[in-house]
Structure 1
Amino acid sequence: MPSDNDTILVKDHRLLTKDWAQAVLRLHDAGAVVRAVETVAVHIGTTTRVRLAIDHDSRHVARKWFVKLPSRNWRARLITALPRLLQTEARFYQQLAAQVPLTIPLCLAARSRWGNGTILVLADVTEQGSRAGTAGDTLDIPQVSAAVGQLARFHARFWQDATVTTSYPWLADSVRQLEDLLGSALAVPLMRRGLSKAGGLIPEELHGPALRYAHNRRKAMAFLNDAPQTVTHHDCHPGNLFWQKDGSAGFLDWQLVRLGEGIGDIAYLLTTTLAPELRRQHEAALLAQYAETVRAQGVRGLSDDLMTRYRAHCCYTFEAMVVTLAIGGMMELDSNLELIRRTAIAVKDLDCFAALPLA
Structure 2
Amino acid sequence: MTTETFPAAPPTLREFLSPTWLDAALGSRFPGVAVTKVIPGPVVSRVSTNARFRIECADGLPDGLSPDLCAKGYFTDVGGEAGWQARHAGVFEVSFYRDLAAASGVRTLRSVYAGVDPETRHGAIITEDVVAQGAEFLDPTSEYTPDSAAESLAQLAVLHGATWGDPALRTADWLTPRLETYSRGRGLAEIRGNFESDIGAGVPEEVRDAERLFDGHRALAAQTRDAEPWSVIHGDAHVGNLFLDGDGRPSFLDWQLVQRGPWYVDVGYHLASTLTVEDRRRSEHDLVRHYLDRLRAAGVDAPSWDDAWRGIRRGIVHGFYLWGITQKVAPPMTTALLHRLGTAAADHDAFAAVGV
TM-score relative to the length of structure 2:
0.87
Residues 1:28 and 1:181: Cα distance change in structure 2 (over 3 Å): closer
Partner SS for 2:196: helix
Structure 2: distance between partners of 1:215 and 1:356: 9
Partner SS for 2:208: helix
Q: How many residues align?
A: 343
Confirm or deny that 1:159 pairs with 2:164.
Answer: yes
Structure 2: distance between partners of 1:36 and 1:235: 36
AA aligned to 2:133 is Q
Structure 1: distance between partners of 2:164 and 2:30: 37
Judge which range, 134-143 or 100-109, deviates more: 134-143
The answer to whether the Cα contact below 8 Å between 2:200 and 2:339 also exists between their aligned partners in 1 is: no
Structure 2: distance between partners of 1:218 and 1:203: 21
Structure 2: distance between partners of 1:133 and 1:23: 33
Kindly state the Cα deviation for residue 115 of structure 1 after the two structures are TM-superposed.
3.2
The residue that corresponds to 1:352 in the other structure is 350
AA aligned to 2:35 is V
C-alpha distance after superposition, 1:180-200 (max 9, x if no partner): 245266332332233234242
The answer to whether the Cα contact below 8 Å between 1:136 and 1:339 also exists between their aligned partners in 2 is: no
The residue that corresponds to 1:315 in the other structure is 317
The answer to whether the Cα contact below 8 Å between 1:228 and 1:302 also exists between their aligned partners in 2 is: no
Residues 1:9 and 1:162: Cα distance change in structure 2 (over 3 Å): closer
1:131 aligned to 125, 130, 136, which one?
136
AA aligned to 1:149 is A
Structure 2: distance between partners of 1:191 and 1:163: 38
Runs of 4+ in structure 1 displaced over 6 angstroms? Answer: none
TM-score relative to the length of structure 1:
0.86
The residue that corresponds to 2:237 in the other structure is 236
Residues 1:71 and 1:340: Cα distance change in structure 2 (over 3 Å): farther
Confirm or deny that 1:120 pairs with 2:125.
Answer: yes
AA aligned to 1:20 is W
The answer to whether the Cα contact below 8 Å between 2:165 and 2:230 also exists between their aligned partners in 1 is: yes
The answer to whether the Cα contact below 8 Å between 1:188 and 1:215 also exists between their aligned partners in 2 is: no
The residue that corresponds to 2:92 in the other structure is 88
Confirm or deny that 1:295 pairs with 2:293.
Answer: no
Residues 1:185 and 1:13: Cα distance change in structure 2 (over 3 Å): closer
Structure 1: distance between partners of 2:246 and 2:284: 26
Structure 1: distance between partners of 2:237 and 2:77: 23
Name the structure where helix makes up a greater proportion of residues: 1
The answer to whether the Cα contact below 8 Å between 1:138 and 1:273 also exists between their aligned partners in 2 is: no
In structure 1, runs of 5+ residues without a counterpart are none
The residue that corresponds to 2:188 in the other structure is 188
The residue that corresponds to 1:212 in the other structure is 212
Kindly state the Cα deviation for residue 48 of structure 1 after the two structures are TM-superposed.
1.2
CA-based RMSD of the aligned residues comes to 2.5
Partner SS for 1:125: coil
In structure 2, runs of 5+ residues without a counterpart are none
Identity, in percent, stands at: 26
Partner SS for 1:121: strand
The residue that corresponds to 2:72 in the other structure is 68
Judge which range, 238-247 or 43-52, deviates more: 238-247
